Amino acid sequence: MRTHHNTDCPDEIWGADALAFDQAHLWHPYAPMTDPVPRWPVVCAEGVRLKLADGRELIDGMASWWAVIHGYNHPSLNRAAQDQIQRMAHVMFGGLTHMPAVELGRRLVALTPEPLEKIFLCDSGSVSVEVAIKMAIQYWQARGRPGKRRLLALQGAYHGDTFAAMSVCDPVTGMHHLFEGVVPKQLFASRPQCRFGDPWEPSDIADFAHLIEAHEDSLAAVILEPIAQGAGGMWFYHAEYLRQVRTLCDAHDVLLVADEIATGFGRTGRLFACEHAGIVPDMLCLGKALTGGYLTLAATLTTAEVAETISRGEPGCFMHGPTFMANPLACAVAAASIDLLLAYDWQAKVRSIESQMRMELAPCAALATVREVRVLGAIGVVETHAPVDLPTLMTRFVEAGVWLRPFGHLVYMMPPYVIDPANLSVLTGAVRCVLSEAAG
């Protein structure tokens, strides 16, 4: 491979040795170490473009897994990071505090609905889910109901890769049988069938209603991804389902955790997906786009009632405190990312991405290999009948100048909100073209 020449992008030599080292020594997400999956060295990124070591540029359709909503290498986010790094990149949060945490906290309290107001800042989405689960268990312990410690989740869910988070992921796609005896057994309601925007079908909530009723004495919380299930199947369900879940949780004394790690910060067309149903959860998990995709940071928000109850119980505090809790650098960038989001009409932008994807992905539905096309907010999904051949498809996408990483039966895109119509057309065009080739 040749050296990359770009004034904004320092030279970086990617010889065969570097790639060989990567393949020999570095795990990649959900990838084997024995049979190297394709991987492309990226040397820098700007706006919606990734620059590869061989000089090619790809239009990014993934926002680096939902996170990079403002595009790469954004001047305001760079400035926020640079300003903060001059002061301190990190300092412990035990016994100390700092302005980046306060500034981010102020914004999160203002942005999220009442009565969410107590914020736990942690390292990653999975950890924020662990934190929410622990909070729910400590809450009921403090209320004198220690038997309430199980979770009710939805089939098709994805909540992260740590053990408690895994326990509430779909049992089949989450491979629970591999970890039998290690992953706690939770309860699962069938995946909501009634789609977002379709007429409501009251029978859709029956399974969930039955489970919460039958198990209320052992349930600490319900956890779900509101409206849009992400990595568990890219599935959009009816807002009425969510409203009824809220009502049933209240009726049966069960807390509601909304995992908005993927949906938060506008992705579904609302700032938070819960707004589609007009409900407020007892705990809200945020991550991914929180720092505009710059650094790993997540947050679990809860109510004063939950936080104060936990703090009055044994042992008088919430039992969690990561080393990098409220990392100042990440908090500073997160505050800047929120300011950036609120400074422009992101909602109009997401709406126009939505309508363009609807129009331009629609022809895929005519392919014999395609089951259906669905779009919500800035998420576009083409579901195929058979699982896609990932290495082949990804290679073809790269050849077509776009960055997309399908999984299972799903070819999907959630581009940075800053993408312009011409670049979005290149993405949707590549999907149409590559899928029709694959259809033969």
Ligand X SMILES: *Cc1c(COP(=O)(O)O)cnc(C)c1O
CA distance 80 to 76: 6
Whichever of 126 and 337 has its CB closer to ligand X, that residue is: 126
Give how far Cα 421 sits from Cα of 337, 350, 424, Å. 23, 12, 5
Whichever of 125 and 415 has its CB closer to ligand X, that residue is: 125
**Sign of the dihedral through C-alpha 236, 237, 240, 245:** negative
3-state SS class at 161: coil
CB of 143 to ligand X, least distance (A): 27
What are the beta bridge partners of residue 228?
A: 236
CB of 90 to ligand X, least distance (A): 19
Neighbouring C-alpha atoms within 13 Å toward the C-beta of 377: 29
**Residue closest to ligand X when measured from CB atoms:** 125
For 181-193, b/e burial (b = at least 16 CB within 10 A) is: eebbebbbbebbe
Are 137 and 149 in contact by the 8 Å Cβ rule? The answer is: yes
Are 286 and 299 in contact by the 8 Å Cβ rule? The answer is: yes
Catalytic residue IDs: 30, 158, 259, 288
CB of 127 to ligand X, least distance (A): 7
Are 8 and 78 in contact by the 8 Å Cβ rule? The answer is: no
Whichever of 350 and 435 has its CB closer to ligand X, that residue is: 350
Q: Which two tokens stand for residue 79?
A: 């400035």
Q: Which residues bind ligand X (CB under 6 A)?
A: 124-126, 129, 158-160, 225, 230-231, 259, 261-262, 287-288
State the greatest distance between any 2 C-alpha atoms of the chain, in Å, as a whole number.
66
Q: Which two tokens stand for residue 205?
A: 């909530």
Alpha helices in 362-418, H assignment, sequence order: 390-399
Residues contacting 117, CB < 8 A, separation 6+: 109, 301, 303, 304
Whichever of 134 and 432 has its CB closer to ligand X, that residue is: 134
CB of 260 to ligand X, least distance (A): 8
CB of 182 to ligand X, least distance (A): 18
Q: Which two tokens stand for residue 31?
A: 């990838």
Question: Which residue, chain included where needed, has tokens 């760079």?
Answer: 78
Residue whose C-alpha is closest to residue 326's, from 131, 61, 57, 146: 131
Whichever of 47 and 406 has its CB closer to ligand X, that residue is: 406
What are the beta bridge partners of residue 52?
A: 42
Whichever of 132 and 400 has its CB closer to ligand X, that residue is: 132
Whichever of 408 and 429 has its CB closer to ligand X, that residue is: 408
CB of 394 to ligand X, least distance (A): 20
